[in-house]
Amino acid sequence: MGNHGDSWMTAEQTFFTSESVTEGHPDKVCDQISDAVLDAVLRLDPEAHVACETATTTGMVLVFGEISTSSYVDIPAVVRETIEKIGYTHSLHGFDAKTCGVIVAIKDQSPEIASGVSATVEVRSGKDVDRYDRVGAGDQGMMIGFACNETPELMPLPISLAHGLCLRLSAARKSGEIAWLLPDGKAQVTVEYHRGKPARVDAVVVSTQHVGDVTNQEITQTIVDSVIREVIPGHLLDTETKMFINPSGRFEIGGPMADAGLTGRKIIVDTYGGMARHGGGAFSGKDATKVDRSAAYAARYVAKNIVAAGLAERFEVQVSYAIGKARPVSFMIETFGTGRVPDEVISRLIDEYFDLRPAAIIESMQLKRPIYLQTAAYGHFGRDDIDVPWEKTDKAAALAEAAQLTVGSVA
């Protein structure tokens, strides 16, 4: 709905649905393995170039892709440790970290890609260019950043609630509070909007893997009382809210035994739940020279600071790149009719306060650190349970002040 312009903000009634999945979902297992490998490499070699993909099916994990590094990482050990932490420790639960097969097929990064990313000294008018201009983007593509004032973390409410439900499932399973829960699961939340403002939750769907000796009635009652009502504020639920718990009946077979998994197949879960556009690039397993990841993080940082500054209630930014080129090829903003200052003022402030060249993004956010596994489940944005630089609003005050100086008031 993020690309429907002002109509979203003026419609009397609209419904929007977002989905999240637990860390035991097969695709999320793969995302976490890919980012665990990335973190393991970066701990030893911050300059490494990593594009690590993972696929999984019954009893097997395949790790493949391109890694150029001076370090050595025991990838099978990383895979097994990650799977064990997720909770797949017995074949009866669909997967066993100790006995699953692990196949590794890793090669070096293409020299043609590497040459586009690596620092090269350019000369213009007889002078060396800015050092940030010497490092090109790792690929072409367009990245999206989004923020809105629906939640304290400046995320759309549907995806925020869906993540909350999945996090609650995981916490209740790992603590033993709900003993019959198993790792695989997903949640879906439909929010009813009135003139662009969340009014109520219309529907909730929760599907969770479970052991065999629990009844459907107990599953339904427990999930409603101990998960849904624990996560979704009471004022958003009413007698008309529909709740569907394991609507297919039983969910005993889960994880890679039930469905194959693949890195990068939950890009909407990872971002804004469909509320914003998406450039198509996945995050997990990629080091920060890949603008699919680093520029998407930077775009979120821009959007969140614009909304935190009060310059718009909803804000989306698109930035695009060409491989080997440092400066963005294009830049576009959308305020959905909620801007409190003219778009050209916001664009000018972004250009002044944010450097979107890959090397500048990497340096300012310190993206060569092993910080990525924590992002690989429950969303990369809007997280208040982890410390990541793109969620900071440290430029909001300066942006608000600069906007007031420019147009007189942002009220």
Active site residue 174: no
Task: From the candidates 31, 287, 292, 334, give the one annotated as an active-site residue.
Answer: 292
Active site residue 292: yes
Task: From the candidates 49, 173, 277, 290, give the one annotated as an active-site residue.
Answer: 290
Burial (Cβ within 10 Å: 0-12, 13-18, ≥19) of residue 204 = buried
Active site residue 286: yes
Task: From the candidates 93, 168, 266, 380, give the one annotated as an active-site residue.
Answer: 266
Q: Tell me the two tokens of residue 284.
A: 């997990």
Q: Which amino acid is at 198?
A: P
What is the gyration radius of the CA atoms in the chain, in angstroms? 22
Task: From the candidates 35, 39, 53, 202, give the one annotated as an active-site residue.
Answer: 53
Task: From the candidates 251, 283, 336, 354, give the one annotated as an active-site residue.
Answer: 251
Active site residue 395: no
Task: From the candidates 16, 19, 23, 28, give the one annotated as an active-site residue.
Answer: 28
Do 3 and 29 meet the contact criterion of CB atoms below 8 Å apart?
no
Active site residue 259: yes
* Closest of 275, 345, 336, 280 to residue 309, by C-alpha: 345
Task: From the candidates 49, 93, 186, 380, give the one annotated as an active-site residue.
Answer: 186
Active site residue 186: yes
Active site residue 392: no
Q: Tell me the two tokens of residue 315.
A: 């804000």
Task: From the candidates 81, 130, 192, 259, give the one annotated as an active-site residue.
Answer: 259
Task: From the candidates 265, 304, 314, 340, give the one annotated as an active-site residue.
Answer: 265
Do 158 and 273 meet the contact criterion of CB atoms below 8 Å apart?
yes
Active site residue 266: yes
* Closest of 273, 274, 270 to residue 283, by C-alpha: 270
Do 289 and 362 meet the contact criterion of CB atoms below 8 Å apart?
yes
Active site residue 218: no
Q: Measure the CA dihedral 161/166/281/102, to 10°.
A: 180
Task: From the candidates 66, 96, 252, 355, give the one annotated as an active-site residue.
Answer: 66
Active site residue 304: no
* Closest of 267, 272, 301, 259 to residue 285, by C-alpha: 267
Active site residue 127: no
Half-sphere exposure of 216 (CA within 13 A, CB side): 8
Task: From the candidates 49, 173, 277, 286, give the one annotated as an active-site residue.
Answer: 286
Q: Tell me the two tokens of residue 317.
A: 């930014």
Active site residue 66: yes
Active site residue 251: yes
Task: From the candidates 25, 49, 210, 340, give the one annotated as an active-site residue.
Answer: 25
Task: From the candidates 23, 27, 150, 270, give the one annotated as an active-site residue.
Answer: 27
Which residues are catalytic, by number? 25, 27-28, 53, 66, 186, 251, 259-260, 265-266, 286, 290, 292
